[in-house]
Amino acid sequence: MSTTHLLYLHGFRSSPRSTKAQLVRLRLETRHPDVTLWCPQLPPSPRAAMAMVMQGIATWPHQRMAVIGSSLGGFYATWVAEQTGCRAALLNPAVDPARDLTKYIGKQTSWHEPGEKFHFRPEFVQELRALYCPTITRPKRYYALIAKGDEVLDWREMTGRYEGTQIHLLEDNDHAISGFADYLDEVLAFVGLATPAV
């Protein structure tokens, strides 16, 4: 069954203007114009972010939707996939953001718009803990693109978390997955959007 709806979830301090999100958008516009793509600007509160996402996809057919998530968005995408049963492609997914983001409590700036400020509040850490999925219930529905050279997250922790899923382990690369365009076809094929034959 082909995918008709795709959700893209960006990472911490990121936005729909990220390079990876824009590459996905452009590819869908040119090769899959009938597919609904939603890449929302996520609020800093994890609880509010997931409430907004679940409301936004409430009318989507879960058997024909998929989610792509990068970094913190990968953590969120895991939660969405566990709630809906949809396929999920994860790009250097955060494993324990409640632990890792504690040091960012306070005023933060948006990566793509330095003039945009937001507060990462102490209660958001507990909200992240509440979204943690202890078990990946359907490993075959997951794909993870993981870079050994990730300077933010530990690739060993990522591969351990998603053991049993389809993992593409990059020998070097970085957290942003520079050259993501080289892997885009593979990512989209996993979520049910293979490149049309010429």
Taking 70 as the threshold, does the pLDDT of residue 197 lie above it? Answer: no
- C-beta of residue 144 within 8 angstroms of C-beta of residue 121: no
CA torsion, ordered 148, 167, 53, 1, to nearest 10 deg: 150
| Total-model pTM | 0.95
Per-residue pLDDT reduced to its tens digit, 146-179 = 999 999 999 999 999 999 999 999 998 989 999 9
The order of strands in the sheet holding 36-38 is 36-38, 5-9, 65-70, 87-91, 142-147, 166-170
Domain boundaries, the chain: 5-190
Question: pLDDT class for 114, splitting at 50, 70, 90?
Answer: low
Q: What is the residue whose two structure tokens read 């050259």? A: 179
* Amino acid occupying residue 173: N
* Cα–Cα distance list, 31 to 18, 178, 185, 189 (Å): 20, 22, 11, 12
From the candidate CATH numbers 3.40.50.300, 3.40.50.1820, 3.30.70.270, 3.40.50.11540, the one assigned to the domain spanning 5-190: 3.40.50.1820
List residues bridging with 166 in a β-sheet: 143
Q: Which residue has the higher pLDDT, 196 or 197?
A: 196
How far apart CA 121 and CA 32 sit, in angstroms, is: 39
The length of the chain in residues reads 198
Quote the tokens at residue 190. Answer: 């996993």
